[in-house]
Structure 1
Amino acid sequence: MDRVTKPKTHRGKQFLEERAPKLVENPKKVMFIRGNKTSEIVVRTMTDLYMLKKPLAIMYRRKNMTRPFEDATSIEFFSLKSDSSLFVFGCHTKKRPHNLILGRLFDYHILDMIEVGVVNFKSLITYKKEKCVAGSKPCLIFTGDLFETDENYRRLKNFLIDLFRGEVVTEIRMAGLDHALLFTAVEGKVHLRSYRVLLKKSGHSTPRVELDEIGPSLDLVMRRTHLASSDLYKEACKVPKATKPHKEKNVSRDVFGTKHGRIHMQRQDFSKLQVRKSKALKRSAKSTGGHQRTKKPKLDSTD
């Protein structure tokens, strides 16, 4: 049996509470790990991705003798230590030059991994332009049929959304949307481009939008994959029932977002309705079945 350890200090108790499962999980953090041999392109690529992901990122500077596709115990150890569910592992060999391994973990165990090669890389430093604010939430744009038809590219798209989505928000103002990431899948490659969103005057209430490329710019070539089984992937994507919105009965919304409600009531007997007594509401002789009394005409004095 595993021994259950209890925290001895208040700080230790807070640490365990942060690691405990929650209905609404914390934003996912990413680990950037260097392999035994890395090239300058791999190091600069990981550094630029780390700058885009800050502050939800951890960069390990030391080299690590590990091969995630053969033995992932060290990756799982780093995940447990830093409480991170995503990792980017960089290495460089003659067989696989400028190599990146993108992976996710579920319950501190490997869920899936995708190996890609980096080509046509341009760093953030080469673009002498104003950059976006650190920690800003980017707008993710995916184009290409491969993201919908190929299973490997579909999982890669899902990983990229997890990597750059940041904190989950319900509303965002237009002025806060200052960063856009474009992913284009074509001819076996995924082209990544980063743009700064500029809002300029247009003479109308809606501003004119322009995109200014700020880097990094790189192409990813698909190599090896290690995808989770459908059952394990379904379990990892399971949503607790408590977080699902409850359906309201007899409540609907129209196309404009206006809320409409329907109330069910029993049929009311208006004959027993208590109202203010007035001559207009008195029953006539016809309705009661009696004879209506007629008034005698007044005689003129000349008659």
Structure 2
Amino acid sequence: MQRVVKPKTQRGKRFLQEREAKIFENPKKTMFVKGGNTSQTVTQMLKELYQLKKDNAVMYKRKNIMRPFEDETQLEFFSQRCDASLFMFGSHSKKRPNNIVIGRLFDHHILDMIELGIENFKSMFDIEGAKCSAGTKPCMMFVGEQFDIEPDYIRLKNLFADFFRGVVIKQIRLQGLEHVIMITAAEGKIYLRNYKILLKKSGSKTPRIELDDMGPSVDFSVRRTKIASDDLYRRSLKQPKNAKVKKRKNISRDAFGSQLGRIHMQKQDLDNLQTRKMKGLKRGNPNKDATSSPNKKSKQSTEES
């Protein structure tokens, strides 16, 4: 049974309220964990990916002896401690050199885990050029048929998108697009590349776009996978009814983003349309004129007599 914690102070009460389930959840936090034995390559890659996700990430600098595929309890404990739902674990051994495990949790329990091996790594400090600012929301590109065909690669694509997407936003300006993450699947390997977007003059209002390699660049090979069942995965995707945006009828947007509305009205009777009252434009009543004409004639006859 789960232990119910009752707050004793106002600070503890606010802390527990932040951990409660919300209709619109906070941005997902990522844990970067070092294993009992790590190489320089693994440590450097964890540090640089942490720099890209610094606003919503936690870096554990101490070594933690664990094996995620054999025992998940320690990772789940770290998840409850720092309220994180994504993790990246790095280790190094003779059997699995330069090993990376990337995964996510649902309700502080392991949902998906995929083990990747680093075959080639190039640090961002080995590449000259400007770097994007920390916390920038990236544009993501997935290249390769395997991301749409094979089940493991489909889940890996979804996991990478969940890992790097950052804060959910509604609008973004053109100058705010600085970072591109390109993930390619080819010949049984996965290539991760990071580019900086350069906006240059083109002689028109639309700038010319160039991509400059900024690193880190990593070549992965898939080793082991642990994917959640369809029922559990479907349950993790459920949303409350209040979070779903209802479709508004008769409202659309044009190519420029302007909101347009369609109004349905009954057919109007233009004969009874109220206009400005003027004596010269006032219509006469034919029935009234017919009844009043004999009286006028009799009045004229009395005057003549």
Same-fold call, TM cutoff 0.5:
yes
**In structure 1, what is the Cα distance between the partners aligned to 2:3 and 2:37?**
39
Distance 2:156 2:222 in 1: 9
Measure, in 2, the Cα distance between the counterparts of 1:125 and 1:274: 77
- In the TM superposition, what is the alpha-carbon distance from 1:94 to its structure 2 partner? 2.0
Are residues 1:282 and 2:286 paired? no
Q: Which runs of 5+ in 1 are unaligned?
A: 294-303
Aligned-residue sequence identity (percent) comes to 53
Deviations 1:88-116 (A, max 9, x none): 11111222211111110000000010011
* 3-state SS of paired residue (1:120): strand
For residues 94-153 of structure 1, the C-alpha deviation after alignment (integer angstroms, 9 at most, x for no partner) is 222111111100000000100111111111221132221111111111111111111111
For residues 129 and 2 of structure 1, do their structure 2 counterparts lie closer, same or farther at Cα, with a shift above 3 Å needed? closer
Offset at residue 290 of structure 1 (A): 6.7
2:59 aligns with: 59
Which residue of structure 2 aligns with residue 261 of structure 1? Answer: 261
- TM-score under structure 2 length normalisation: 0.87
User: Matched residues in 2 for 1:107 and 1:189: separation?
Assistant: 31
Aligned residue identity for 1:248: R
Partner of 2:299: none
Matching residue of 2:166: 166
Shift of 1:219: 0.8
Deviations 1:225-275 (Å, cap 9, x if unpaired)? Answer: 110111111111112211211222343444554434344445556666555
Equivalent-residue separation in structure 2 for 1:180 and 1:272 (angstroms): 64
What amino acid is aligned across from residue 140 of structure 1 in structure 2? M
Question: Alpha-carbon deviation of 1:279?
Answer: 4.5
If the length of structure 1 is used for normalisation, what is the TM-score?
0.88
Q: SS at the partner of 1:159?
A: helix
CA distance in structure 1 between the aligned counterparts of 2:250 and 2:31, rounded to whole angstroms: 48
1:227-266 alignment to 2 at 5 Å?
Answer: 227-266=227-266
Find out whether 1:6 has 2:6 as its counterpart: yes
Distance 1:17 1:121 in 2: 42
Query: What is the root-mean-square deviation of aligned Cα atoms in Å?
Result: 2.4
Aligned residues: 291
Counterpart secondary structure, 2:155: helix
Question: What one-letter code is carried by the residue in structure 2 that aligns with 1:178?
Answer: E
Looking at structure 1, the residues matched to 54 and 118 of structure 2 have their Cα atoms a distance apart, in angstroms, of 21
Q: Counterpart of 2:124 in structure 1: which amino acid?
A: L
Distance 1:72 1:169 in 2: 33
2:129 maps to 1:117 = no
Matched, 1:135 2:135: yes
Q: Which moved more, 1:102-111 or 1:169-178?
A: 169-178
Aligned position for 2:217 = 217
Give the structure 2 partner of residue 296 of structure 1. Answer: none
